[in-house]
A and B are shown apart, each in its own frame.
Chain A
C-alpha cells in the first residue's frame, strides 16, 4: 500500500495491489475432510461453498488444516467463458499458484498453510464457471492433494 505524496493528502492510502482488501466474511468448512477457514468479501462465495461442504462447529476451529482469503473483484474487459478460460498451475517447494484467465489466480503456501485468491466476480456468479474452473483449482491447492 502506498500513501499519497501530496502535502494536503499525505495520509490517504493508495492500495495499488489491493493488499488491504477487506475479507470480513468468514466461515469454517469441512472440505473433503480438511478443515478450512475461509474469509472473503463475497457472500455468494460463502453460499456456494456452503452448498457443497458442511460448515464446521467451534470444536473444529482448533484443528484448522489451512486458512484462505479470497477477494472477488468486478470484471474488467475480460471475457469469462468456460470453454476458452485457460488455467495453469505451477508449484515448487511448498508454494503453488493457479492462474485462471487474465486476472484471477489462487496461491498457496504450505509452510504457513495460508492461501490467497483474487477472482473475477463472474467465476463465482456463474455456476458453471464456479464448478468447472474455480473449484477444481481451489481443491487442487488444498493440503494433502499431490501437486
Chain B
C-alpha cells in the first residue's frame, strides 16, 4: 500500500513550539506543563498552585495552540472515548486531548478561541482533565460534596439531586468552610489522606433560589450532563468561605424520605464503600492496578464514622443537625 498525504494539518511538538512551562500542585500531585500559550498557563495558575521545578512530576502535559487555524466554535457537547490506556477527548474541530494513562502523559492541541477562554478552562476543561487523569496520578474522585471545620472534612454523598450542593452551602453558613459540591478528590499521604477541591463554581439546581434568595438574578446554564443549573461562586454568597484541602473525618450519605422525621443511623464501612465504588470508573487490564489503588483509598476512607441521613428537611435545618453531630462526634 502507499502512504497518501496523511492529513490536512500535522503538528509535531517540540521544545521549539512549546517554549513556555510551569509546574503545578494538583490534588497532591505535581503536573509539569509545557505550552506555547500564556493563556492556558494563566488558567492553570488561577486553578492550581504553581510550584518550583525541583520536585519530580507525576504527570507531563503538552498543550499546543495552533494559531494558524480558524476560530471555529466548540462542539455543543464534548466527546469522550477510551480504549486500553489511551483516553481521547474532543471539544471542537481543532481542540482535542489524548491522555496516555499508562505513562502519565497528556497531549493536547487547541484553537486560539479555546485557549483564550479562561473561564471554560477553569470551569470545565481543567476539572474534566483532572477527572480523566486521576487514577493515573493516585487520586481518587468521589461523588461527594465536602465542607471543612478546623481542618477536618465532612464528605456528603448521595445521588444526583439529593441536595449535596445546597447542603454544602448551608453548612458553610453554619461554621464550616466550603470545599466542593459534587466531586471531591482524595489523595494518600503515607498512612494519611487528604481531600481536595477545585476553585470552581457551585452547581445548584434552579430551585436553590428558594434557600439562597440572593441568587434570584442568576440565569440557569446548561451543564455538561444536560441539566440546567445555576453556576455560583460560593464566596459571593454571604458568610461562605472556601477551603481547598482538608483531612476527611466524617462521611454522610443523604437519602430523601418524604413526610417523616429525620433518621440518622450509622452506616457500615462495606456499605459505605460500595456506594462510593459504584461511581468509580473501572479500568481495563493494562491499568487495572490504578483502579485497585483507588479501591484501597476508598477502603481507607470508610474506616471513619459513616452515617446515612434519611430526611425531608430543608437544607438549613439539615445543616444545623449535621453541624451538631459533627460538633459532638
Contacts of A2 in B (CB 8 A): 278-282
Let me know if B7 and A136 touch, CB within 8 A. yes
State in angstroms the CA–CA spacing of A89 and B64 once bound together.
12
Verify if A58 is at the interface (C-beta below 8 Å from B): no
Nearest CB in chain B: distance from A14 CB, A: 10
State in angstroms the CA–CA spacing of A4 and B279 once bound together.
7
Asked, given contacts A10-B278, A90-B107, whether A139 binds B1 with beta carbons under 8 Å apart, the answer is yes
Asked, given contacts A18-B81, A88-B11, A99-B90, whether A139 binds B102 with beta carbons under 8 Å apart, the answer is no
Verify if B228 is at the interface (C-beta below 8 Å from A): no
Verify if B219 is at the interface (C-beta below 8 Å from A): no
Let me know if B278 and A90 touch, CB within 8 A. no
Q: List residues 1-21 of chain A with CB under 8 A from any CB of chain B.
A: 1-6, 10, 13, 16-21
Contacts of A52 in B (CB 8 A): 1
Contacts of B280 in A (CB 8 A): 2-3
Asked, given contacts A90-B13, A95-B100, whether A116 binds B86 with beta carbons under 8 Å apart, the answer is yes
State in angstroms the CA–CA spacing of A112 and B101 once bound together.
12
Let me know if A19 and B79 touch, CB within 8 A. no
State in angstroms the CA–CA spacing of A143 and B224 once bound together.
37
Q: List residues 133-147 of chain A with CB under 8 A from any CB of chain B.
A: 135-137, 139-140, 145, 147
Using a Cβ–Cβ cut-off of 8 Å, how many residues does chain A contribute to the interface with B?
52
Let me know if B6 and A89 touch, CB within 8 A. yes
Nearest CB in chain A: distance from B103 CB, A: 6
Asked, given contacts A88-B7, A89-B11, whether A20 binds B84 with beta carbons under 8 Å apart, the answer is no
Let me know if A71 and B102 touch, CB within 8 A. no
Let me know if B103 and A111 touch, CB within 8 A. yes
Nearest CB in chain A: distance from B91 CB, A: 11
Q: What residue of chain A has the Cβ atom nearest to residue B278's Cβ?
A: A5
Which of under 10, 10 to 19, 20 to 34, or 35 or more describes the interface residues of B? 35 or more
**Which residue among A20, A88, A95, A103 has the maximum number of chain B CB atoms within 10 Å of its CB?**
A88
Contacts of A116 in B (CB 8 A): 82-84, 86, 88
Q: Which of A89, A109, A132, A140 contacts B100 (CB 8 A)?
A: A109
Verify if B316 is at the interface (C-beta below 8 Å from A): no
Let me know if B7 and A140 touch, CB within 8 A. yes
Asked, given contacts A1-B282, A19-B83, A105-B81, whether A136 binds B100 with beta carbons under 8 Å apart, the answer is no
State in angstroms the CA–CA spacing of A135 and B7 once bound together.
10
Q: How does the 8 Å CB contact mask read for A86-110 relative to B, with 1 for contact and 0 for none?
A: 1111111101111100110101010
Q: Which of A21, A23, A88 contacts B96 (CB 8 A)?
A: A88
Q: What residue of chain B has the Cβ atom nearest to residue A13's Cβ?
A: B282
Q: Can you offer 8 A-B residue contacts whose CB atoms are under 8 A?
A: A3-B278, A69-B83, A88-B109, A99-B96, A102-B75, A105-B81, A145-B3, A147-B12
